[in-house]
Amino acid sequence: MNPTIVKIIDLMFRGMPEREEIRAMREELLTNSQARYDDLIASGKSSNEALGEVLDNLRGVEELLDEYRREDVQTSAPEQPFAYARFEKMAEEIDRRFAAAADDVKSAADRASTTAEAAFGTAMESVRTAMDSFASGFNGRSAGFDHSGAAGSGEWVRSNVYGGGELLVATADPAHYPRVRVELAADEVELLPSGDGLIHVEIDPEDESLLLVEKTGGCFTLRRNPVSVEPEPPAEDEQQEGFFGFLNKLGRMMRGTIRQMRSCCGLIRVKLPAGLAMAEVQTASGDIGISDLQLGGLSATTASGDINISDCSITGDAAACNTSGDTDLHNVKVGGSLKLNATSGDIMFFEGSVSMVTANNVSGDTEISGVLGQVQSNSVSGDIDICTYDTSVTGIFANTTSGDITVGMEEVLTPAVTANTTSGDVQIECDTDPASAVRFRLSTVSGDICVS
Partner 1 sequence: MALSADILRGYTDTIILKRLSLGDSYGYELGKQIGCISQGGLEMKEATLYTAFRRLEGSGLIRSYWGDAQSGARRRYYAVTPEGLERLSRDVENWQETKQLLAKLIEEEPE
Residues that bind partner 1 (CB under 8 A): 1, 24-25, 27-36, 39, 57-61, 63-64
User: Contact, 358 vs 366, CB < 8 A?
Assistant: no
Q: Which is nearer to partner 1, 89 or 176 (CB)?
A: 176
Q: Which is nearer to partner 1, 32 or 391 (CB)?
A: 32
Least distance in Å: CB of 2 to partner 1?
10
The SS3 call for residue 194 is coil
Least distance in Å: CB of 277 to partner 1?
24
Helix (H) / strand (E) containing 271: strand 267-272
Neighbours of 86 (CB within 10 A): 16
Least distance in Å: CB of 228 to partner 1?
24
Classify residue 98 by burial, with Cβ atoms within 10 Å: 0-12, 13-18, 19+: middle
Q: Which is nearer to partner 1, 28 or 390 (CB)?
A: 28
User: Contact, 425 vs 451, CB < 8 A?
Assistant: no
Name the region of 22 (left: φ>0; alpha: ψ -120 to 50; beta: rest): alpha
Q: Which is nearer to partner 1, 58 or 261 (CB)?
A: 58
Least distance in Å: CB of 40 to partner 1?
11
Q: Which is nearer to partner 1, 27 or 71 (CB)?
A: 27
Question: HEC string of 89-143?
Answer: HHHHHHHHHHHHHHHHHHHHHHHCCHHHHHHHHHHHHHHHHHHHHHHHHHHHHHH
Least distance in Å: CB of 220 to partner 1?
19
Phi, psi of 128, rounded to the nearest 5 degrees:
-65, -45
Neighbours of 146 (CB within 10 A): 12
Q: Which is nearer to partner 1, 30 or 264 (CB)?
A: 30
Least distance in Å: CB of 155 to partner 1?
18
